[in-house]
Each structure stands twice: as structure tokens, then as C-alpha cells.
Amino acid sequence: MVEFALVLPLLLLMLVGIADLGRAFTAYIRVTNAAREAARIGVKNSAVTDVIEIAAARELGLQLPEDDEALNIIIEKVAGDDGRERIVVTVEYDFPLILGGLLGLPGQSITLRNQVRMPVFETE
């Protein structure tokens, strides 16, 4: 009984850490998909940044980008090496950790970031 009482906090800490890691991995996949979807929309409509941001937010499960303060979407147009214009969409999301709250570290989060570059094929 005493050994179990000594080992239980460590086991629970490991279990919560594993759950946090799984949640973070799932959130990273969602951030990747959001950047990819936003860039896909931006390939044909690169001038309409509001539509691109809404596409990224909806892929993350939000109605509007303003619904979550932890979400940051950056849209840029750059020239590629071949002279073609490219759209670059960067999605950043501050992911809150459960483990930080349990250890008394409020506001503990990690920033998940992904960037997608695609050539622009606008039809005019």
C-alpha cells in the first residue's frame, strides 16, 4: 500500500503527459490541414485574404478566425525561383497543456506552427 502511494503520483504524471502528447499531435495535424486548406483556397483567390483565413479557421473547427485568440494566420505572396508568384500561408496555434495546469504553471502552452507554399493559379 505504501509503495503504491509513492508510485501513483509518478504514474499519473506520466499518464497525463502521454495524453498531452496525443492531444498536441492531433492539434498539429489539424494545424497542418488548416494551412494546406487555406493555401489551396488561396491558389485561385489569393486577393481575398478573409476567405483564406476563414477556410483555415473552419479546418480547425472554428467559425471565424477571431473565435480563438490562440490562432494566428499569416498570408503572404512571394516570388518563386522560377518567377511565378507563390502564396505562403502560415498557421500558428498556441496549444494549452493540461500538464502545466496540474503542476501549477498557469498559461503553459506550446506554439504549433506550419507553413505551406503553393504557386498561384488565379483565373482573371
Compare 62 and 117 and report the one with higher pLDDT: 117
Question: Cell for 114?
Answer: 506550419
Q: Is residue 124 part of a domain?
A: no
For range 60-74, the mean pLDDT: 81
Q: Is residue 51 part of a domain?
A: yes
Give the structural domain span for 20. Answer: 2-119
Q: Is residue 40 part of a domain?
A: yes
Q: How many domains does the chain have?
A: 1
pTM: 0.81
Q: Is residue 43 part of a domain?
A: yes
Cβ distance 69 to 57 under 8 Å?
A: no
**Which percentage of the chain shows pLDDT scores above 90?**
41
Q: Which residues, including other chains, have CB under 8 Å from residue 68's CB and lie 6 or more apart?
A: 57, 60, 62, 93
Q: What pLDDT digit, counting tens, does each position of 72-124 carry?
A: 999 998 887 888 889 999 999 988 888 776 666 666 888 999 999 999 886 55
Task: Identify the pLDDT of residue 107.
Answer: 62
